[in-house]
Chain A
Amino acid sequence: MAEPTIALEIFRYHPEQGEAPSFRRYEIPYREDWVVLDGINYIKDQIDGTLAYRWSCRMGVCGSCGMMINGTPRLSCAAFLREYFPNPVRVEPLAHFPVERDLVIVMDDFMHKLREVKPWLIRGQETPLSEGEYRQTPAEVDEYKQYSMCINCMLCYAACPVYGLEPRFLGPAAIALAQRYNLDSRDEGRRERQEVLNTEEGIWDCTLVGECTTACPVHVDPAGSIQRAKVTATVDWYKDVLLPWGKR
């Protein structure tokens, strides 16, 4: 009896039941070493099989388990119950995205934007494999490495009010990924990506709220990537205007 418990208040929405969303409260056992996701799995297995959510790796790398936990976007497999105990924990789907059901959001928009920024290596000339690897020094790897760490968890989108207000905004992760390739010494596609970045809904909608960087579980620093993209776009612009005939 003395076993401690903790309450999870979970956002429920079901399209077929057509009702407005509501919160349901579940009392679950409290364990020191449980993450919020463990609690949710407990509910699914023992109490209510109808709860829908995404998860897989439960080690913070697949990026599928993002949720709003007490109003903050977190990976539910990296948020420990002990951070909240003994208070109840409120769990909602990631902010700013449409909700498919319960904690499952619709991520079409992000998938579309990801593709928009051409996140692949663009080369004028493909070198045959027989010539070996493209050389890249550790310092050159460092140049883009941080931006290559994005797990597409979209916590940054849920943290960014600008995205909440303007869904057309390209958003932090997509821009960070564009920068990841722009800054890769093997890549030659910066000008191509600039067509997408250097637009109002691209980098210019960002007002440097900076919450994307705070939310990012793997320290990508999307805010920084956007700032750098703005600087580059500006330098490009002045070059284009001032040296319209010159080498760009």
Chain B
Amino acid sequence: MSYEVKTEAFEGPLDLLLHLINRLEIDIYDIKMAEITSQYMEHIHAMRVLELNEASEYLVMAATLLSIKSKMLLPIHQDEEMEDDFDVQVNDPRDELVSRLIEYRKFKEAAHHLNEMEESRHLYYTRPPADLSGFQSNQQLALFELDVNVYDMLGAFQKMLRRKQLNAPLHTRVSKQDISIKTQMRNVISTLKKSGGKLSFYELFPSMDKMTIVITFLSLLELIKRQFVQVEQKSNFDELFVLLRKEDIDSEFDYEIDE
């Protein structure tokens, strides 16, 4: 039997096995090892383009299949069987593989549900919280100033990417230009300097161009890692702020980035 194989269609050896079981209409509780093994081998043969990393996983599974197949051909010795580790097998060499396949299948199905939820969530939109800083006194700012971790910031970035897509066709598009992270790090620093060392996270992303947004974000992460800047949030309801931590950084900055 010959057919086309799409490597990217499989999420690993277990996914491939489930596919074969489905296609060959095999009972998952009574897998015909000879048939599935030969089909599996045929597939991985056709999937030679695999990354080395993944290939090893497919090959380990191939070895497992062969070993199960050969075990099933052997006559069962009752005594040996008793001495086996219970975790591995009690009576059927296929048991472990079957339970792995069933466990994996559960999550594959769950992933499918998530995909459906993702699609229906794309049908409605929210908006960012309003900027209420005009209502806030300096005293309150000091009292409620709380740092946030990188995950909060990543979340904020993700939200921002969704937000920044809005309005795009109604504005003149930013012409595409290649900027490096290094350059953008300098830009962020000088933008921060110009605004007195503190700026709203979102104000660092005035551009609508996705590439620029991504580069700016990466440069921001780099600056945080190098402790040039710090991210803060006043409270639950407020915006993220980026603070400049090192004042006269130009020489150090150039040195560090250029290395």
Q: Do A and B come from one complex?
A: no
Q: Which residues of B contact A (CB under 8 A)?
A: none
